[in-house]
Structure 1
Amino acid sequence: MQIDDGLWPPAMFEPQREIATHYHEQGWWRPTTLLDDLVVRRRETPNAVAVRSYHAEGGSESLSWSQYADRVERYAAALRSLGAGPGRVVAVQMPNLWQTSALILAVLRTGAVVAPITTTFRARELERMLDCLKPVVVITVAEFDMYNHATALAEMRTRLPFLRTTVVFGDGPADINFHKYFEQRQWEPLALADARDNPDRVAAVMFTSGTTGEPKAVLHTYNTMYAGGQDYAVQEEVGPADVMFNPHALTHMFGLLYSLMMPATTGATAVLLDEWSPAAARTVIDDAHATLVSGSPQYLIGLWEQYPELTTASISRVITGATTVPPNLVSKTRAVTGVALQSFWAMTEVMLGTWTRRTDPPDWSAHSDGRPGAGTELDLRGNDPIDRNNPAALFMRGPSVCIATVGRDSGKVTMIADHDEGWYETGDLAIPDGRNGIRLMGRTADRINRGFVVPAADVEAELLNHPGIRDVALVGVSIEGEILDEAVAVIVPSGPPPSLNELNSFLTARGMTDWCLPTQLKVVDTLPRNTTGKILKNELRRELRVTATGGAVFR
Structure 2
Amino acid sequence: MRPGGPPPDTRRMDHHAALHAGFRWHVPEHFNIAEVCAARWARERPGSVAIRYEHEDGRAARFTYADLQANANRLSNALRRLGVQRGDRVAIVMPQRFETAVANIAVAQLGAVAMPLSMLFGPDALEYRLQHSEAVVAIVDESAIANLRDARPQCAALRHVIAAGEAAGKGDLDWAAALEAERAEFTAVKTKADEAAVLIYTSGTTGPPKGALIPHRALIGNLTGFVCSQNWFPQDDAVFWSPADWAWTGGLMDALLPTLYFGGQIVAFQGRFGAERALELMARHGVTHTFLFPTALKAMMKAVPAPRERYPLRLRAIMSAGEAVGDAVFAWCRDALGVTVNEMFGQTEINYIVGNCGRFVDEQGREHPGWPARPGSMGRAYPGHRIAVIDDEGRECPRGTPGDVAVHRLDVHGHPDPVFFLGYWKNDEATRAKFTGDPANSWCRTGDTAVMDEDGYLWYQGRSDDVFKAAGYRIGPSEVENCLVKHPAVANAAVVPKPDKERGAVVKAYVVLAPGFAPGETLVEELQRHVRGKLAPYEYPKEIEFIAALPMTTTGKVQRKVLRLQEEERARTAAGAH
- Whether 2:436 is the aligned partner of 1:414: answer no
Residue aligned with 2:78, SS: helix
**In the alignment, which residue of structure 2 is the partner of 1:161?**
156
1:242 and 1:472 map into 2 onto residues whose CA distance is 34
1:259 and 1:175 map into 2 onto residues whose CA distance is 31
Residue aligned with 2:481, SS: helix
**In the alignment, which residue of structure 1 is the partner of 2:226?**
232
1:215 and 1:427 map into 2 onto residues whose CA distance is 15
Deviation at 1:196, TM superposition (A): 1.6
**In the alignment, which residue of structure 2 is the partner of 1:5?**
none
> Is the CA contact (8 Å cut-off) linking 2:225 and 2:352 kept in structure 1?
no
> Is the CA contact (8 Å cut-off) linking 2:494 and 2:510 kept in structure 1?
yes
Query: How many correspondences in the alignment?
Result: 514
Structure 1 range deviating more: 164-173 or 457-466:
164-173
Deviation at 1:288, TM superposition (A): 1.7
- Whether 2:293 is the aligned partner of 1:296: answer yes
Letter in 1 for 2:182: W
Deviation at 1:95, TM superposition (A): 0.9
> Is the CA contact (8 Å cut-off) linking 2:487 and 2:530 kept in structure 1?
yes
Q: Deviations over 1:506-528 (max 9, x none)?
A: 22222x22222222221211111
1:139 and 1:549 map into 2 onto residues whose CA distance is 45
User: Structure 1 residues 295 and 161 mapped into 2: Cα distance closer, same or farther (>3 Å)?
Assistant: same
- Whether 2:531 is the aligned partner of 1:507: answer yes
2:247 and 2:572 map into 1 onto residues whose CA distance is 46
Deviation at 1:63, TM superposition (A): 0.9
User: Structure 1 residues 546 and 134 mapped into 2: Cα distance closer, same or farther (>3 Å)?
Assistant: closer
2:158 and 2:573 map into 1 onto residues whose CA distance is 52
Letter in 2 for 1:393: D
**In the alignment, which residue of structure 2 is the partner of 1:496?**
518
Residue aligned with 2:31, SS: coil
Deviation at 1:471, TM superposition (A): 1.3
- Whether 2:393 is the aligned partner of 1:376: answer no
**In the alignment, which residue of structure 1 is the partner of 2:259?**
263
> Is the CA contact (8 Å cut-off) linking 1:290 and 1:314 kept in structure 2?
yes
Letter in 2 for 1:487: V
**In the alignment, which residue of structure 1 is the partner of 2:31?**
32
Letter in 1 for 2:384: G
**In the alignment, which residue of structure 1 is the partner of 2:419?**
400
| Percent identity of equivalent pairs | 21
Structure 1 range deviating more: 449-458 or 232-241:
232-241
User: Structure 1 residues 98 and 361 mapped into 2: Cα distance closer, same or farther (>3 Å)?
Assistant: closer
Matches within 5 A, 1:175-214: 175-182=172-179, 185-191=180-186, 194-214=188-208
**In the alignment, which residue of structure 1 is the partner of 2:6?**
none
Deviation at 1:32, TM superposition (A): 2.9
**In the alignment, which residue of structure 2 is the partner of 1:435?**
455
Residue aligned with 1:166, SS: strand
**In the alignment, which residue of structure 1 is the partner of 2:330?**
330
Deviation at 1:416, TM superposition (A): 7.9
Deviation at 1:399, TM superposition (A): 2.8
Residue aligned with 1:401, SS: coil
Deviation at 1:468, TM superposition (A): 2.5
- Whether 2:534 is the aligned partner of 1:534: answer no
> Is the CA contact (8 Å cut-off) linking 2:399 and 2:454 kept in structure 1?
no
2:572 and 2:199 map into 1 onto residues whose CA distance is 48
Residue aligned with 1:490, SS: strand
**In the alignment, which residue of structure 2 is the partner of 1:217?**
211
Deviation at 1:268, TM superposition (A): 1.1
Letter in 2 for 1:392: G
1:365 and 1:83 map into 2 onto residues whose CA distance is 52
Letter in 2 for 1:175: D
Deviation at 1:343, TM superposition (A): 0.8
What stretches of structure 1 of length at least 5 have no aligned partner? 1-24
What stretches of structure 2 of length at least 5 have no aligned partner? 1-22, 360-368, 409-416
Q: Deviations over 1:204-230 (max 9, x none)?
A: 010111224432100110111321134
2:223 and 2:56 map into 1 onto residues whose CA distance is 28
**In the alignment, which residue of structure 2 is the partner of 1:462?**
483
> Is the CA contact (8 Å cut-off) linking 1:45 and 1:65 kept in structure 2?
yes
1:354 and 1:435 map into 2 onto residues whose CA distance is 14
Structure 1 range deviating more: 224-233 or 377-386:
377-386
Residue aligned with 2:358, SS: coil
Deviation at 1:164, TM superposition (A): 0.8
Residue aligned with 1:420, SS: strand
Residue aligned with 1:473, SS: strand
**In the alignment, which residue of structure 1 is the partner of 2:95?**
95
Alignment match of 2:543 (pick from 516, 520, 523): 520
> Is the CA contact (8 Å cut-off) linking 1:136 and 1:163 kept in structure 2?
yes
- Whether 2:567 is the aligned partner of 1:544: answer yes
Matches within 5 A, 1:270-349: 270-278=266-274, 279-303=276-300, 305-306=303-304, 308-309=307-308, 311-349=311-349
Structure 1 range deviating more: 204-213 or 224-233:
224-233
Q: Deviations over 1:83-118 (max 9, x none)?
A: 222121101010110110011110111110100111
2:452 and 2:112 map into 1 onto residues whose CA distance is 41
Alignment match of 2:443 (pick from 415, 423, 426): 423
1:541 and 1:549 map into 2 onto residues whose CA distance is 13
Letter in 2 for 1:358: G
Alignment match of 2:239 (pick from 243, 252, 258): 243
User: Structure 1 residues 130 and 258 mapped into 2: Cα distance closer, same or farther (>3 Å)?
Assistant: same
1:461 and 1:132 map into 2 onto residues whose CA distance is 38
Deviation at 1:440, TM superposition (A): 1.2
> Is the CA contact (8 Å cut-off) linking 1:476 and 1:488 kept in structure 2?
yes
2:62 and 2:336 map into 1 onto residues whose CA distance is 28
User: Structure 1 residues 195 and 442 mapped into 2: Cα distance closer, same or farther (>3 Å)?
Assistant: same
> Is the CA contact (8 Å cut-off) linking 1:520 and 1:551 kept in structure 2?
no
User: Structure 1 residues 437 and 212 mapped into 2: Cα distance closer, same or farther (>3 Å)?
Assistant: farther
Deviation at 1:362, TM superposition (A): 9.8
User: Structure 1 residues 411 and 285 mapped into 2: Cα distance closer, same or farther (>3 Å)?
Assistant: same
User: Structure 1 residues 313 and 181 mapped into 2: Cα distance closer, same or farther (>3 Å)?
Assistant: same
**In the alignment, which residue of structure 2 is the partner of 1:139?**
139
1:28 and 1:514 map into 2 onto residues whose CA distance is 51
> Is the CA contact (8 Å cut-off) linking 1:93 and 1:119 kept in structure 2?
yes
User: Structure 1 residues 393 and 362 mapped into 2: Cα distance closer, same or farther (>3 Å)?
Assistant: closer
User: Structure 1 residues 456 and 539 mapped into 2: Cα distance closer, same or farther (>3 Å)?
Assistant: same
Deviation at 1:433, TM superposition (A): 4.2
Deviation at 1:361, TM superposition (A): 9.8
Residue aligned with 2:474, SS: coil
> Is the CA contact (8 Å cut-off) linking 1:225 and 1:351 kept in structure 2?
no
> Is the CA contact (8 Å cut-off) linking 2:201 and 2:210 kept in structure 1?
yes
Q: Deviations over 1:477-523 (max 9, x none)?
A: 345x666222211112231335554333222222x222222222212
Alignment match of 1:173 (pick from 163, 166, 170): 170
Residue aligned with 1:485, SS: strand
Structure 1 range deviating more: 532-541 or 36-45:
36-45
Residue aligned with 1:446, SS: coil
